[in-house]
Structure 1
């Protein structure tokens, strides 16, 4: 059976992470289920020139954020993991407080309740105390907070290389076979 990966894209900056995650997951043979918030669509359009249809074409299946009856809203749906890339502070807060007010936050809640891997690629700086407390709450519930901070030890030559390596690190974290992040080899 092909492993399933739920991908959420919110309105935080960094839509390229979600796009590249979808593309790389396809190469690795993961079946992707995408949920994009309205703010995520606006941001993808602003940053990448993509509309909802173009984003959804990158996934195997897509679900409207208001469709709380979609398959990814149930613990009986066998998804290996979920990654929210990028994850806004609003979405982080909703997940931290169990506010399953749309399909994306409901799917994240399902990952936590089923003890499956949930990775939130949070995007905001500087962080205020509410952000930090929400990150702590999600971590205590078993989620992984993964700000998409680039590694420089492999000397990336472009933004594309930094994004690609970050995506590979996330894919390795969710257990995707074939993920190839740059590994620190020591001095």
Structure 2
């Protein structure tokens, strides 16, 4: 029997854009929901994690899995990390039938290469697979200001059915901490993934 859509594995990729807290929080929330994640970190993402979250990850993928699980207080069984050159990863082939992928945060360089169909590493290849199989791809870009090139690339991807969820905070829920600002964006991603999320702050709700 196949898993219910909510429980199916998800590819989560982090790139070198600022906003490591968004990626870490999404990984934590998905694990708490019982969802297995295929995790891919770019080299630049590791630099940003050290800079923004004081999290220095080992090069070995198994050790990375253990370190992230410990840092986020989640079961390591919910994570499987892959190197950027692991072409035997399930994320590298459409036959693995992984139906959802999130790049959070997504650098403009990664976004441009995805829009152009370039597959120089596993993140880009996984996104290419999701697109060619007409599955769900969510990109969380974090850049400002946006150039015409950035906007044209996002429009191109949007026309292909990609969900573009920029890392833009909202304030109608009166956030009182940085965590609440991060959670708002992650709640929007979870909503698009159709992951049950009763903690989400919704407009018009009490």
After TM superposition, the score normalised by the length of structure 1 is 0.94
Give the match for residue 74 of structure 2.
Answer: none
Question: Pick from 4, 14, 17: which aligns with 1:9?
Answer: 14
1:106-147 Cα offsets, whole Å, 9 max, x none, are 111111111111111001100111100110111111111111
Instruction: State the distance in 1 between where 2:174 and 2:198 align.
Output: 19
Give the match for residue 47 of structure 1.
Answer: 52
Aligned length: 187
Q: How do 1:59-74 and structure 2 match up within 5 A?
A: 60-74=79-93
Residue 177 (structure 1) shift: 2.6
Runs of 5+ in structure 2 lacking a partner? 70-77
Structure 2 residue matching 1:118: 3-state secondary structure: strand
Structure 2 residue matching 1:8: 3-state secondary structure: strand
Q: How do 1:39-118 and structure 2 match up within 5 A?
A: 39-53=44-58, 56=65, 57-58=68-69, 60-118=79-137
Residue 55 (structure 1) shift: 5.5
| Structure 1, 50-59 or 22-31: larger mean CA deviation | 50-59
Runs of 5+ in structure 1 lacking a partner? none
Structure 2 residue matching 1:52: 3-state secondary structure: coil
After TM superposition, the score normalised by the length of structure 2 is 0.86
Instruction: State the distance in 1 between where 2:201 and 2:181 align.
Output: 10
Residue 68 (structure 1) shift: 2.4
Matched, 1:37 2:56: no
What is the root-mean-square deviation in Å for CA atoms of aligned residues? 1.7
* Contact 2:14–2:23 (8 Å) recurs in 1: yes
* Contact 2:101–2:136 (8 Å) recurs in 1: yes
Q: Which has the larger radius of gyration?
A: 2
Question: Pick from 21, 28, 33: which aligns with 1:28?
Answer: 33
